[in-house]
């Protein structure tokens, strides 16, 4: 088939690779000048399938309300909220029922485990190197934090995830750079989970897709998707639509606007988050008896603040916050301060956070705000849209990197009319 893909984030790139590997003629249209320039740019990079669970969970609305007055809150509302945000929150609240949560969690985890398997297979087969590290450590600052994670540990047991609840001494052996002066009651260690640079993976997989014949068209915003007679795309500033046998929408948040004229109302909302990324100090500056690098070795999660700390090659990334309302350009300084605080608590002195006097290039730290493309009340949409020729791979919310390789393979099989590698119940419209 001659297939167009809209969007070259991690979902569009993995989809392009799988469809090209199946022998299709693939063209990817991307409005930016490179792959992974939006939400896939600087996420935490964590791949932990046992923790891929719906945010719409029992007790969540009360939890969100209790966070609102806290300085280092993991969830924030930027007022005034739009009508769209309020409607989205209403649907989200309604999905927080236990029965709905359990069904969605089962679908998500099935996809997440398969996705990790597919990611590992592609990594081996194509020899991809994208700043990977193994192991995920969930840090529990107090006994109260330990008590609060217990229901989550039952979820991991039910899902067959390998994990160990360990004490502070064992946690510090796994991550020797952890600050001994910050209180640590214990941790949960997941040896099979880990972290990798999502953007770097996207860049490498784009190269592999191109080697299979896929074409990437950058600076080409798609203005309209149509299905009158055949699947067609109208690129901004062009007058003649381009025809394809099929169009796959992987445009993240922008999918809602592209699908609305076709009569499909997909309630995506931006749930913003932040990351800071900084180079590690060179060994010369930070000799210490504890650990010469004083830096994280892999991925950690500060459970109290819901902030991830990731080792990405010679850099450290700290990511977190869930913010509803506001704009991509409007950075909440309190949320960013929380990231610095968590890094300072656990790995003080590991990263170059200040401007280097000899550097002409300004501060070393990259600040980033990303918009999770979040559906309020369901797992991602993967498969046929119901509109002939138009296919969907969208709404991956907080776990798009962890779900990307599996979602792409599932979609490619569905488009080929082959049985999917996993039960796809829960992902269709």
How far, in Å, CA of 350 to CA of 293, rounded? Answer: 7
* Chosen residue from 208, 399, 407, 424 binding ligand FAD by CB under 6 A: 399
- Pick from 396, 406, 413, 420 the residue near ligand FAD by CB under 6 A: 396
Using CB under 6 A as the binding rule, whether residue 338 contacts ligand FAD is answered as no
Query: 21 or 402: whose CB is closer to ligand FAD?
Result: 402
Least Cα distance to 13 among 274, 203, 247, 281 occurs for 203
Interface pick for ligand FAD out of 3, 4, 5, 12 (rule CB under 6 A): 12
By CB under 6 A, name the one of 3, 4, 5, 10 that touches ligand FAD. 10
Among 5, 40, 74, 301, which residue interacts with ligand FAD (rule: CB under 6 A)?
40
102 Cβ partners below 8 Å, 6+ apart? none
Contact 326, 209 (CB under 8 A): no
- Find out whether the peptide bond into 52 is cis, omega within 30 degrees of 0: no
Compare residues 219 and 359 and give the one whose CB is closer to ligand FAD. 219
Q: Which helix (H) or strand (E) holds 19?
A: helix 10-21
Min separation Cβ 404 and ligand FAD, Å? 7
Tokens 């966070």 map to which residue? 67
Q: How far is CA 245 from CA 60, 79, 305, 377, in A?
A: 43, 44, 47, 31
Residue 6 in contact with ligand FAD, rule: CB under 6 A: yes
**Distance between CA atoms of residues 191 and 175, nearest Å:** 12
Which residue matches tokens 């392009």?
16
d(CA 25, CA 418): 18
Choose among 172, 248, 296, 206: nearest CA to 416. Answer: 248
Are 343 and 336 spatial neighbours (Cβ–Cβ below 8 Å)? Answer: no
Contact 29, 218 (CB under 8 A): no
Closer CB to ligand FAD, 57 or 309, in the complex: 309
CB of 318 to ligand FAD, least distance (A): 10
Question: Any alpha helices (H) in 260-385, and if so which ranges?
Answer: 333-346
Provide the mask over 314-333, with x wherever binding to ligand FAD is found by CB under 6 A and - wherever it is not.
-----x--------------
Which one, 48 or 281, has the nearer CB to ligand FAD? 48
Q: According to the binding rule CB under 6 A, does residue 54 interact with ligand FAD?
A: no
d(CA 161, CA 193): 9
The yes or no reply on residue 251 touching ligand FAD (CB under 6 A) is yes
Which of 301, 402, 408, 411 is close enough to bind ligand FAD by CB under 6 A? 402
Is residue 132 within the footprint of ligand FAD (CB under 6 A)?
no
- Residue of the chain from 37, 192, 245, 291 that contacts ligand FAD (CB under 6 A): 37
Q: Which is nearer to ligand FAD, 38 or 281 (CB)?
A: 38
From 101-109, 282-290, 327-335, 393-401, span contacting ligand FAD (CB under 6 A): 393-401
Least Å from the CB of residue 197 to ligand FAD: 11
Applying CB under 6 A, which of residues 3, 4, 5, 8 lies at the interface with ligand FAD?
Answer: 8
Q: Which of residues 257-316 bind ligand FAD (CB under 6 A)?
A: 273-275, 308
Identify which range of 29-37, 82-90, 98-106, 355-363 contacts ligand FAD by CB under 6 A: 29-37
Q: What does the block give as tokens for 195?
A: 């972290």
Q: Give the number of other CB atoms < 10 A from CB of residue 272.
A: 24
Q: What six digits make up the tokens of 381?
A: 């949409």
Among 54, 196, 296, 400, binds ligand FAD (CB under 6 A): 400
User: What SS3 class is residue 352?
Assistant: coil
Does the CA dihedral 188-189-193-195 come out positive or negative? positive
β-sheet bridge partners, residue 278:
316
Interface segment toward ligand FAD; rule CB under 6 A; list 129-137, 146-154, 337-345, 400-408: 400-408
**Nearest to ligand FAD of 10, 137 (CB atom):** 10
Question: Which structure tokens are listed for 400?
Answer: 């798009």
Place of tokens 């953007």: 199
Q: Which residue in the set 270, 401, 405, 420 belongs to the binding site for ligand FAD (CB under 6 A)?
A: 401
Query: Per-residue x/- marks for ligand FAD, 192-231, CB under 6 A?
Result: -----------------------------xx---------
Alpha-carbon span 73 to 69, nearest angstrom:
8
Q: Verify binding: residue 29, ligand FAD, rule CB under 6 A.
A: yes
Among 74, 135, 252, 383, binds ligand FAD (CB under 6 A): 252
- Check residue 129 and report its DSSP letter: -
Give the span between the Cα atoms of 78 and 81, in whole angstroms: 7
Contact set with ligand FAD (CB under 6 A):
6-12, 29-32, 36-40, 43-46, 221-222, 250-252, 254, 273-275, 308, 319, 370, 372-373, 396-402
């Amino acid at each position: 088939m001659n297939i167009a893909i809209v969007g070259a984030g991690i979902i569009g790139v993995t989809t392009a690779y799988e469809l090209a590997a199946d022998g299709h003629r693939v063209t990817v249209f991307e409005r930016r000048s490179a792959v992974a320039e939006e939400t896939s740019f600087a996420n935490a990079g964590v791949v932990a399938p046992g923790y891929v669970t719906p945010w719409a969970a029992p007790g969540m609305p009360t939890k969100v309300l209790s966070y609102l007055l806290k300085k280092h809150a993991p969830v924030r509302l930027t007022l005034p909220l739009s009508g769209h945000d309020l409607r989205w929150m209403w649907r989200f609240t309604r999905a927080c029922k236990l029965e709905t949560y359990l069904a969605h969690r089962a679908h998500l985890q099935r996809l997440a485990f398969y996705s990790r398997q597919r990611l590992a297979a592609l990594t081996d087969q194509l020899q991809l190197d994208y700043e990977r590290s193994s192991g995920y450590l969930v840090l529990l600052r107090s006994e109260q934090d330990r008590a609060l994670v217990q229901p989550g540990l039952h979820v991991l047991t039910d899902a067959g995830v390998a994990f160990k609840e360990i004490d502070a001494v064992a946690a510090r052996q796994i991550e020797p750079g952890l600050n001994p002066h910050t209180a640590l009651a214990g941790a949960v260690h997941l040896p099979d989970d880990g972290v990798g640079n999502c953007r770097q993976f996207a860049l490498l997989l784009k190269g592999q897709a191109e080697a299979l014949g896929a074409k990437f068209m950058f600076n080409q915003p798609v203005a309209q998707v149509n299905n009158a007679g055949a699947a067609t795309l109208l690129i901004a500033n062009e007058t003649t639509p381009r025809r394809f046998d099929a169009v796959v929408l992987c445009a993240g948040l922008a999918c809602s606007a592209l699908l609305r004229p076709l009569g499909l109302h997909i309630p995506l909302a931006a749930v913003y988050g932040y990351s800071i990324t900084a180079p590690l100090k060179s060994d010369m500056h930070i000799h210490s008896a504890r650990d010469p690098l004083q830096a994280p070795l892999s991925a950690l999660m500060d459970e109290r603040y819901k902030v991830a700390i990731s080792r990405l090659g010679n850099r450290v990334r700290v990511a977190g916050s869930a913010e509803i309302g506001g704009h991509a350009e409007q950075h909440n300084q309190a949320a960013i301060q929380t990231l610095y605080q968590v890094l300072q608590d656990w790995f003080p002195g590991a990263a170059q956070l200040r401007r280097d006097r000899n550097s002409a290039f300004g501060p070393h730290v990259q600040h980033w705000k990303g918009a999770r493309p979040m559906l309020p009340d369901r797992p991602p949409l993967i498969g046929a849209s119901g509109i002939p020729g138009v296919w969907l791979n969208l709404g991956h919310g907080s776990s798009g990197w962890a779900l990307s390789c599996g979602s792409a393979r599932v979609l490619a099989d569905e488009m080929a009319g082959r049985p999917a590698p996993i039960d796809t119940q829960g992902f269709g419209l």
